[in-house]
Amino acid sequence: MSIEIITTADGSNSLLHTGLNETYHSVHGAIRESTHVFINHGLNEWMNRHPRRAIDLLEIGFGTGLNALLTQQEAEKSGIHVRYRAIEAFPLTWEVACKLNYPDMLGGGKVDFQKIHLSRWNFDEQVSDHFALAKLEGDAEHVDFGENRNDVVYFDAFSPSKQPELWTLAFLGKVVKSMKPGAVFVTYSAKGQLKRDLAVLGLRVETLPGPPGKLEMVRACQEA
Ligand SMILES: C[S@@+](CC[C@H](N)C(=O)[O-])C[C@H]1O[C@@H](n2cnc3c(N)ncnc32)[C@H](O)[C@@H]1O
């Protein structure tokens, strides 16, 4: 896999997968996008609806660990316990990850970012008081996400045009099956087919304003 570190419009780094010609985040701002889509419209939405409850979270596409770091920081700030399970088919080396400027841009978190990256794959690890991490190495298509297990899903695969196999009704069905009643699914994409498929799978689909550079994003909720 060939990747290059790039700098996005908010000053935060991302990666360019040169083989796919696909970036890991929006070029309009990696931290801005992750915060808007996954933290504000996903994690915080769920925390507001269910104050003080521990959260089981599933991420499709661990990537740079930016979503994990932002979530760890929210968990420590709020005092709400997060059990974070992330699937990744192509883990980055620490040599690459340690060049990413997220802790500097976020004003802290260097040690936690290192712990997140150096935690063992396929083990449950306690990264900080309120943040437990299980990174699973494997192809998401072949991982069983279980049933009725997740409160929040960060759906952060590469885009539907580059990775259509992770945006099929069958794959989405597997993810939706893993969601508990009242669970929240968020993604940066707002494709019509995605919204129709999520509705077919029984979720209540909302189209929300996207982060800078993107008109819309999707949040979809399992009935409580
Ligand atoms: C958009 S990036 C994720 C960005 C990430 N959430 C972050 O915070 O940096 C998509 C990720 O999905 C991973 N990926 C691609 N195909 C996959 C598959 N079949 N199963 C699991 N992960 C996959 C890629 O290696 C990449 O890390």
Give the pLDDT confidence of 161-203 residue by residue, as tens digits: 999 999 999 999 999 999 999 999 999 999 999 999 999 999 9
Atom of ligand 1 nearest to the CA of 34: 8
Amino acid at 173: G
- Contact assessment for residue 29 and residue 23, using Cβ atoms and an 8 Å cutoff: no
- Contact assessment for residue 26 and residue 37, using Cβ atoms and an 8 Å cutoff: no
Q: Which of 156, 161, 188 to mutate to test the pocket of ligand 1 (most atoms within 8 A of CB)?
A: 156
What pLDDT was estimated at residue 51?
Answer: 86
Q: How many residues does the chain have?
A: 224
As separate numbers, helices (DSSP H) first and strands (DSSP E) second, the chain gives 8, 11
2: pLDDT confidence band, cut at 50, 70 and 90?
very high
Give the pLDDT confidence of 36-89 residue by residue, as tens digits: 999 999 999 999 999 878 999 999 999 999 999 999 999 999 999 999 999 999
Q: DSSP assignment, residue 164?
A: G
Q: What is the reported pTM?
A: 0.98
Amino acid at 57: L
What pLDDT was estimated at residue 186?
Answer: 98
Is pLDDT above 80 for 1?
Answer: no
Atom of ligand 1 nearest to the CA of 154: 6
User: Two tokens at 86?
Assistant: 């992330």
Q: How far apart are CA 140 and CA 166, in angstroms?
A: 8
User: Two tokens at 161?
Assistant: 């045009």
What pLDDT was estimated at residue 125?
Answer: 98
Q: How far apart are CA 32 and CA 130, in angstroms?
A: 23
Q: How far apart are CA 6 and CA 71, in angstroms?
A: 23
Ligand 1 binding pocket, CB closer than 6 Å: 24, 34, 61, 63-64, 66-67, 87-90, 139-141, 156-158, 163, 166
| Residue 65 alpha carbon to ligand 1 centre in Å | 10
Atom of ligand 1 nearest to the CA of 139: 20
Atom of ligand 1 nearest to the CA of 140: 20
Q: How far apart are CA 208 and CA 220, in angstroms?
A: 10
User: Two tokens at 132?
Assistant: 């437990």
Give the pLDDT confidence of 104-116 residue by residue, as tens digits: 999 999 999 999 9
Q: How far apart are CA 85 and CA 136, in angstroms?
A: 7
Query: Tokens 């500097």, residue?
Result: 104
| Residue 49 alpha carbon to ligand 1 centre in Å | 28
